[in-house]
Amino acid sequence: MPMTLDKSADLAGPGIGDYAELEQVLPGDYRSLLTPKETQQALFAAKNYIEEHLCKKLNLMMVTVPLIVDAESGVNDYLDRDGSRTPVQFHIANDYNQHPIDAQVVQAATKWKRMALRRFGMEPGEGLCTDMRAVRKDYFLDHDHSAYVDQWDWEKAVTAGQRNLDYLKATVRVIWQVLAGAEQHVQKLFPKLCDPRFPNLPEELTFLHAEEILDMYPDLPRKQRETAVLQKYPAIFIIGIGWNLKDGYPHEMRAADYDDWVTETGLDRHGLNGDILVWNPVTKRRHELSSMGIRVNKETLRKQLEITGQLDFLKYPYHQAIVNDEIPLSIGGGIGQSRTLMLLLRKAHLGEVSVTVWPKILKEMCAARNIHVLE
C-alpha cells in the first residue's frame, strides 16, 4: 500500500498558515482570568499535579532526557517523510576535531525513551516519564505552535499480549483522568478559573476511529473533519493515524518507526495509536493535547518502513535494537505541556504559558487583543 498525500487536505504541516488568517482566529474580547503572577503559580501547580499523577497511575518514574543527541544514532525524530522538518544540527569539534560529533537538537524523544526502558531496566508494567524540551524550527508560529516544544514524554514496557486496542484505550482513559483531575485541582486553587463561558472537560473521552470520522464528514479535509466532530463530542481520541483510509489518504502523516499504525484491528481498520483532541472554548478551535500509541515491533516496523520507502533506516542502532528484540515492546506518547496548560488556565495563546521567541507581527497582533506573550 503506497503512502500518498492529499494536496487538497491539510496534512503537510501544523498551524494556521499565515498571519492574516491568524488575525481572524485570535479572540478580540479576551481578558486573562489570572494575573501574570497567578498564571505562573497555577502553571506549576498543574504541572506538578500531572507529573505526580501520571507516574502514580501508570507506574512511571521521572527520568532525565537529552536535549541533544548524536546524529548517527538514528534516535532523533524527523517528524516528516519529505525532509521539510529537519532538526537543528551542529558540529562539536571534540579533541581538536580528532573525535568530532555531529549533534542534533531533539525534536521529540520518542525513540530515545524506548531505548531508555532497557537502560533503566524496566519490566512490563513499568515505565518512565520525562520533562522533555525540544526545538522544532520549521513550525509556523501561531497561537498554539512554537519553535520551543515542551512535553511530558512517557514510555511504558508492555507484553506482546498487551499490544491491542483494548489496552491502548485503557491507557488513554487513565491519562484523561489525570488531565481532568488537574483541571479540578487548579480551579480549587484559583476559583477565578471557574468561568461559565468555559465549560470543564467532560468526564470521559469519546473514542472514534479515523475511518468513522471520514464516514461522518467525507467531503471535509482532515482539520475541518476534526473541527466538525468536536462540535458533537468536545473531547475525542482519534484512533488509527498513519494508515491510508478508504479515500486513499491517511488522516495525518505519522512516522513509520515508532507508533504502530499498520496492525489490523477489525472492520477493515488499522492502527494502535491516536491523538487526544478537545474543543478549546477560549480560541473556539480544535486543540490537540497528546499523541500516543503502542510502538512498532520488528514485524510492523519492517512493514511500515517498506510502505514508506524507508527500509534504509534499518541500519540505525535504534531500528536494529527493535529487529533484534533488544529493547522492550512498549506503549508511549507525548502530552504537550504548554498546550495543556494553555487549555486548563483558559489562555488564548501558547506564549502566555511558555517563554520563547515570537515574530514581531505576532506580538503586536496579540498585544492589540490583550494577549501578552512571555519572552
> How much is the pTM?
0.90
Here the cell at position 88 is 537543528
> What is d(CA 40, CA 262) in angstroms, rounded to the nearest whole number?
42
Q: Report the pLDDT averaged over residues 89-103.
A: 81
Amino acid 155 reads E
Topology, domain 28-367? BirA Bifunctional Protein; domain 2 (3.30.930)
pLDDT attached to residue 12:
34
Strand extents, DSSP E, the chain: 60-63, 68-70, 89-92, 101-105, 127-135, 148-157, 206-209, 235-239, 264-266, 269-270, 273-280, 285-294, 330-336
Q: How many CB atoms lie within 10 A of CB 5?
A: 12
* pLDDT score, position 17: 61
**What gap in Å lies between CA 87 and CA 77, rounded to an integer?**
8
What's residue 92's pLDDT? 85
DSSP for 137-154, please give it. TTSPPSSS--SEEEEEEE
Q: What mean pLDDT is predicted for residues 100-123?
A: 90
Q: Is the dihedral of CA 224, 228, 231, 233 positive or negative?
A: negative
- Positive or negative, the Cα torsion across 200, 204, 208, 213? negative
Question: Which letter, b or e, does each residue of 168-195 get, where b requires 16 or more Cβ atoms within 10 Å of its Cβ?
Answer: beebbeebbebbbebbebbbeebeebee
> Could you count the other beta carbons within 10 Å of the beta carbon of residue 313?
17
Q: pLDDT of 67-82, one tens digit each?
A: 888 887 777 776 554 4
% residues pLDDT > 90 (the chain): 71
Among 4-18, 28-42, 78-92, 198-212, the range scoring the smallest mean pLDDT is 4-18
Rounded-to-integer distance, Cα 366 and Cα 368, Å: 5
Q: How confident is the model at residue 1 (pLDDT cuts 50, 70, 90)?
A: very low
- For residue range 202-256, list pLDDT tens digits in order: 999 999 999 999 999 999 999 999 999 999 999 999 999 999 999 999 999 999 9
All three cell numbers of 101: 560529533
What does the alpha-carbon distance between residue 112 and residue 130 come to, in Å, rounded to a whole number? 11
Distance CA 121, CA 365 (A): 49
The pLDDT value given to residue 82: 45
Which residues participate in catalysis according to the annotation?
77, 136, 151, 275, 288, 291
- Classify residue 365 by its DSSP letter: H
At 16, the pLDDT band (50, 70, 90 cuts) reads: low
Q: Give all strands of the β-sheet with 330-336 in edge-to-edge order.
A: 60-63, 127-135, 148-157, 330-336, 285-294, 273-280, 235-239, 206-209
Residue 5 is predicted with a pLDDT of 35
Tens-place pLDDT, residues 351-365: 999 999 998 998 999
Q: Residue 11 pLDDT more than 50?
A: no
DSSP for 65-84 reads --SEEEGGG--S--SSSSSS
The overall average pLDDT reported for the chain is: 90
Alpha-carbon distance 242 to 249, whole Å?
Answer: 9
- pLDDT tens string 313-337: 999 889 999 999 999 999 999 999 9
pLDDT tens for residues 115-171?
999 999 999 999 999 999 988 888 888 888 888 899 999 999 999 999 999 999 999
| Residue 13 confidence (pLDDT) | 40
Q: Map out the domains of the chain as residue ranges.
A: 28-367
DSSP string across 288-334: EEEEEEEBP-HHHHHHHHHHTT-GGGGGSHHHHHHHTT-S--EEEEE
